[in-house]
Amino acid sequence: MTPKDVLALCKSKDVKLVDVKFCDFLGTWQHFTMPLRELEEEVFEEGLGFDGSSIRGWKSIEASDMVLILDPKTAILDPFPAVPTLSIVADAVDPLTKEPYSRDPRNIARKADAYLKQTGIADTAFFGPEAEFFIFDDIRYDQTSHSGFYYIDSNEGIWNSGREELPNLGNKLRHKEGYFPVAPADTQIDIRNDMIMVMKDCGLRVEREHHEVATAGQAEIDLRFNDLVAMADDMMLYKYIVKNVAKKHNKTVTFMPKPLFGDNGSGMHVHQSLWKKGKPLFAGNEYAGLSQMALHYIGGILKHAKALCAICNPTVNSYKRLTPGFEAPVNLAYSSRNRSASIRIPTYSPSPKAKRIEYRPPDPAANPYLAFSALLMAGLDGIQNRIDPGDPLDKNIYELPPAELKKVPSVPGSLAESCDHLAKDHEFLLKGDVFTEDVIETWIEMKRKEQDQIRLRPHPYEFHMYYDC
């Protein structure tokens, strides 16, 4: 779509307002809205100014002026405002030089895609994330100097099996039994179907939706794979749609990795493959029908996996999901069909076009632009340096004897530990100027501050454990 096409769309749909969206450093969409008359063809070239110092992790106040350049290919009709509104995604640039801003996540993703082409290894990297989330009926939380609590509720939650509901009709999903019974146990078919219909209207290609393992409305909606930048754009739109459709149903959605104790957390398994001139490069005659290139790509991800966690599992809460002994894929191994390994090679289809790898540790709190870019850079490093991933592990890792399990490396146990690994291991991210030292340093600094915010506050369960000491 060109600027002229965008303006023609606005005219044909009687658009009154334009909503400009962009992604902040940590992965949240920001926006401002203007009357349609302000959108002229020149705006697409000249951009729109805004205060970059008010965006997390971006400019300081003495150099706050920035410009957003609208990307006409991202223009859609926003499905939620009452007034007909065009939604369009923008890239941040310097107002003087018009150079793309190094801390703009979308710019980092663009550079990763350009670097891939520059290497000559491939011309397209496809990503297909499987994001999980919870749909709750109520969420309350607070923290003061002398108190702290959270309270989650869901009409579907097993803890409400004895609640007076006048009448309580039962059908509360037990812990870890949400994958995936039919109605009436699955109470959220209509809301998920509403979500995918809105996604379809907005141009997203949905593969399927279903209830996930946990009680209390855990869900998954899978999008069809797309190239790196487009898939990250799709994931931002996906989150926007899911949260706003939930609100229309008087419910709330969270992509927080581990909101419930004693049940599954929410992951974002990321399927990946490389293509060149329309041909898949990951299909071959090696293990599980992979090519040698794919095995080296796996080797790169496994080598850098601990550093990748700081970007792909970017919250303190992420590591309450990534806990050894539970279902989350903490074991840094690869295997065909094996969901206990961090890298799985799906075998649903014999077609070379379907050959891909699935990296399972990431969670949906990740900034998709940064996560997909970092995974690509790790995989490319594996290809360039012919990194051997070792032997596959075709066993249920959860049932390995302790002596054998010790030999299998695992992901870090905390955000702080992941940041330590990223500080030591990020040269692979700097190739092609995709990530910069400034980006890495700023990311680590912000994440360490997040860790401190949790570390300094007493946890409610500490009173249960220690008040009588």
- Which positions are annotated as active-site residues? 51, 130, 132, 212, 220, 269, 339, 358, 360
Helices (H) and strands (E) in the chain, counts: 13, 18
Per the structure block, which two tokens stand in for 163?
A: 């609640």
Q: What are phi and psi of 435, to 5 degrees?
A: -95, 160
Closest CA to 70 of 42, 30, 94: 42
CA 95 to chain centre: 30
Please tell me the distance from the alpha carbon of residue 127 to that of residue 435, in angstroms, as a whole number: 19
How is residue 225 annotated by DSSP?
P
Reading phi first (left if > 0) and then psi (alpha if -120 to 50, else beta), residue 330 is in alpha
Please tell me the distance from the alpha carbon of residue 368 to that of residue 312, in angstroms, as a whole number: 8
Please tell me the distance from the alpha carbon of residue 180 to that of residue 187, in angstroms, as a whole number: 11
The continuous run of DSSP H or E covering 269 comes out as strand 268-276
Please tell me whether the peptide bond between 129 and the residue prior to it is cis, using omega within 30 degrees of 0: no
DSSP alpha helix (H) spans, 169-314 = 189-201, 228-248, 292-312
Residue owning tokens 């850098």: 304
Q: What are phi and psi of 44, to 5 degrees?
A: -65, -25
**Farthest-apart Cα atoms in the chain, separation:** 71
Please tell me the distance from the alpha carbon of residue 411 to that of residue 304, in angstroms, as a whole number: 10
- Positive or negative torsion for Cα 428, 434, 438, 443: negative
- Positive or negative torsion for Cα 180, 186, 189, 191: negative
